[in-house]
Amino acid sequence: MKVNVDETKCQGHSRCYIIAPEIFEVDDYGYSHSKFTDDLPKDLEEKAKLACENCPEFAIEISE
Ligand code: SF4
């Protein structure tokens, strides 16, 4: 599973980071990006889904 943040949609309120700091990093303004360019570790997949479901901007993309 891969996770990506669409920077054109991200509004920088850091919700994803609060849910899954193992997966996401935020800049000084709260805008997020994924730490992982390759597949996520299996044990982080559920957290990635939870963060995706809680992003109000639908900015987090998950692909298999
Ligand atoms: S929750 Fe969504 S909009 Fe908010 S910082 Fe994370 S990716 Fe960006």
pTM comes to 0.94
Best mutation site among 8, 32, 53 for ligand 1, i.e. most ligand atoms within 8 A of its Cβ? 32
Full domain range(s) for residue 20: 2-63
Residue-level pLDDT at 37: 92
Residue-level pLDDT at 8: 97
List Cα–Cα distances, 57 to 16, 38, 43, 62, in angstroms.
11, 23, 25, 14
CATH code for the domain in which residue 28 is found: 3.30.70.20
Residue-level pLDDT at 1: 97
**Per-residue pLDDT tens digits for 21-62:** 999 999 999 999 999 999 999 999 999 999 999 999 999 999
Query: Which of 51, 48, 59 lies closest to 15, judged by CA?
Result: 51
Ligand 1 mean position, distance from CA 8 (Å): 11
Residues with CB under 6 A from ligand 1: 5, 10-16, 30, 32, 55, 57, 59-60
* Residue 33 · residue 7 · CB < 8 Å: yes
- Please name the residue whose Cα sits nearest to atom 3 of ligand 1: 10
Indicate the number of domains in the chain: 1
